[in-house]
Amino acid sequence: MADDSSSSAATKTEEKRSWADEESEEETISTANPPPDGNEDSERLDLKKIEVLSITEDKGKDKDDVKDVDKDGGVGLLDNPDDSDIKAVPSGDTVYSSALRFEDLNLSKELLKGIYVEMRFQRPSKIQGISLPMILTPPYKDLVAQAHNGSGKTTCFVLGMLSRVDPNKKLPQAMCICPTRELAQQNQDVFLKMGKYTGITSFLAIPADSANYVPVSKLPPVTDQVVIGTPGTIKKWTSARKLGTRGIKILVFDEADHMLAEDGFRDDSLRIMKEIQGSSIAGCQVLLFSATFNDAVKEFVSRVVKDANQIFVKKEELTLDKVKQYKVQCPDELAKIDVIKDKIFEFGQKVGQTIIFVHTRNSARMLHQTLSQDGFECTAVQGALKQGDRDKIIKEFKDGITKVLITTDLLARGFDQSQVNLVINFDLPVKYDFRSEPDYEVYLHRIGRTGRFGRKGAAFNLLCTDRDRILMEKIERHFNHTIPEVPNWRSEEDFEKALKDAGLL
């Protein structure tokens, strides 16, 4: 691909330290996607315009989640979830202005009603204000958007899909691909709420419960305008010719870095993308959203979607600030379990809900069994469960019926439950193919399950082996952030102090 490294100085300087991961990454995309010759000035102007507007935006009014409003009785109490600097890099000479109000976006009145009445939003959050004009303004360029956990990404692409779809045409026009069934379901829930008055319908493309299995060939073709689902099922419906792709004009990848990662869903994602781009009549806009984009994926992304608008968020310090992180040295595995029983159950219930992450399905099952036997009420969810059980456990947790949920990385990404105040890394996340290396992205996503929308949260990393300690050090070094230690794993007072410092007690 072309690599015009003489791309505008504005692009480079504006972008400095804008990505989450490392400084060295920043130039990867800017140089890989140089603006067309002669556009340097407009580039610079575009950047200025967006940044100036975004800075003048109201603070403390943003929100992303209706539960937020319901349970807190007012988002004004929350900090702005995305105070961080957002750097927008338009790819061409289109001028975009950040939307300060939803009225600025030319949305239908039905959609506005959904936004205000159902979602109870007041104004676009920063990422929404900047990304929505890019999504909705012709010539509908592709978009790579990084926004930190809990800042309102879902709203961006759901609104994007809803406003680009023609309700009068009964065929799929928008598609959203997600890494887990749970996330697909959650996104559809948001879609249904926001699009309630639009008459636009959706199809949830996840595997049917095996109990009432019907071959796809026996099912009617999809006529819903929006499809939300997981890669395998979308592929299956497409190849069975029950899911037409010719009308698709907007294709969203949620958790896009994972969807395009080599050890993620890259092959499936590319196949679906190619299929749609090959058949789409009007041409298809691709939107890639995630809180994280590591070096490798970023490089790949810049080759997959060339000439894309880009939004980068300097967000890792912010995420790490909002969620107070701790490490706890434990002499052995049993001590870890004691910490869960005596400290986490003790304090966790007081402050809200807790998610405990473990490495394998089996350890999720085992830990659940151990805790349940001793009368500690909790549930566990992992991919080996039947879909019905997965759904039930998730629903109980989202309804607040269960307070402590044990899970694998099934729920590491995207899972949105504002009442979660505590995240426990019972096992630290490690790279799939190199287990002495931490998985930095998964770490960030896991702790991002708490501290949503500017709310307070705490994360405890339970360490017992030397390996754990080394992993933890690497994580601290990577994010350039020293994680304080709970001095004594047996001490009530130490945990109490930690939670107080986190603002939870």
**Contact at 8 Å (CB) between 459 and 425?**
yes
Residues 183-212 close enough to bind DNA by CB under 7 A:
206-208, 210
Does residue 232 touch DNA according to CB under 7 A?
A: yes
One of 81, 129, 229, 247 touching DNA (CB under 7 A): 229
CB-nearer residue toward DNA: 11 or 230: 230
Nearer to DNA, 298 or 324 (CB): 298
Here the tokens at position 400 are: 């607040």
Distance (Å, whole) CA 348 – CA 353? 7
Candidates 143-151, 278-286, 377-385, 464-472; binding stretch for DNA (CB under 7 A): 377-385
Based on CB atoms, which residue is closest to DNA, 395 or 500? 395
Buried b (16+ CB within 10 A) or exposed e, 170-189: ebbbbbbbbbbbbbbbbbbb
What's the CA angle centered on 113, arms 111 and 118, to 5 degrees? 105
Q: How far is the CB of 392 from DNA (least distance, A)?
A: 15
Stretches 64-72, 81-89, 306-314, 376-384: which one binds DNA (CB under 7 A)? 376-384
- Closer CB to DNA, residue 77 or residue 208? 208
Q: Can you say how many angstroms the Cα of residue 239 is from the centroid of all Cα atoms in its chain?
A: 28
Binding mask 257-286 for DNA (x = CB under 7 A): ------xxx--x------------------
Minimum CB–partner distance for residue 1 and DNA (Å): 27
Strand partners, 431: 434
Query: Between 235 and 315, whose beta carbon lies closer to DNA?
Result: 235
Q: Is 167 in the site for DNA (CB under 7 A)?
A: no
Look at the alpha carbons of 372, 376, 377, 383 in this order and tell me if their dihedral is positive or negative.
negative
Q: Which residues of 213-363 form beta strands (DSSP E)?
A: 226-229, 250-254, 285-290, 309-313, 323-329, 353-357
Q: Is 254 helix (H, G, I), strand (E, B) or coil?
A: strand
- The DSSP-derived string for 186-216 is HHHHHHHHHTTTTT--EEEESPPPGGG---G
Q: Please identify which residue in 149, 185, 230, 425 interacts with DNA, judged by CB under 7 A.
A: 230
Helix, strand or coil, per DSSP, at residue 366: helix
* Distances, alpha carbon 25 to alpha carbons 29, 132, 145, 152, in Å: 8, 25, 15, 24
The answer to whether the beta carbons of residues 423 and 289 sit under 8 Å apart is no
When binding is defined by CB under 7 A, the residue of 44, 49, 193, 236 that contacts DNA is: 236
Those residues whose C-beta lies under 8 Å from the C-beta of residue 155, and which sit 6 or more positions away, are 64, 119, 121, 125, 128, 190, 194
Find the shortest distance in angstroms from Cβ 216 to DNA.
8
Q: Encode 11-40: b = buried (16+ Cβ within 10 Å), e = exposed.
A: beebbeebbbbeeebbbbbbbbbbbeeebb
- Residue 362 makes contact with DNA by CB under 7 A: yes
What part of residues 403-422 is at the interface with DNA (CB under 7 A)?
408-410
359 versus 478: smaller Cβ distance to DNA: 359
100 vs 384 by CB, closer to DNA: 384
The answer to whether residue 145 forms part of the interface with DNA (CB under 7 A) is no
- Of 128-136, 191-199, 361-369, 469-477, the window that binds DNA (rule: CB under 7 A) is 361-369
The residue within the footprint of DNA, chosen from 274, 432, 492, 501 (CB under 7 A), is 432
Select from 435, 467, 477, 500 the one that contacts DNA (CB under 7 A): 435
- Considering only 196, 359, 469, 497, the residue that binds DNA (CB under 7 A) is 359
Closest CB to DNA among 62 and 416? Answer: 416
Residue with smaller CB distance to DNA, 98 or 245: 245
Distance CA 154, CA 150 (A): 9
Q: Decide if residue 180 touches DNA (CB under 7 A).
A: yes
Beta strands in 432-490 (DSSP E): 434-438, 457-463, 485-486
Q: How far is the CB of 212 from DNA (least distance, A)?
A: 11
Cα–Cα distance between 267 and 382 in angstroms, integer? 24
Give 293 or 489: the residue with its C-beta nearer to DNA. Answer: 293
With contacts defined by CB under 7 A, how many residues of the chain interact with DNA?
35
Going by C-alpha positions, the residue among 435, 391, 441 that lies closest to residue 414 is: 441
Residues contributing to the site for DNA (CB under 7 A)? 179-182, 206-208, 210, 213, 229-233, 236, 263-265, 268, 359-363, 382-384, 408-410, 430, 432-433, 435, 442
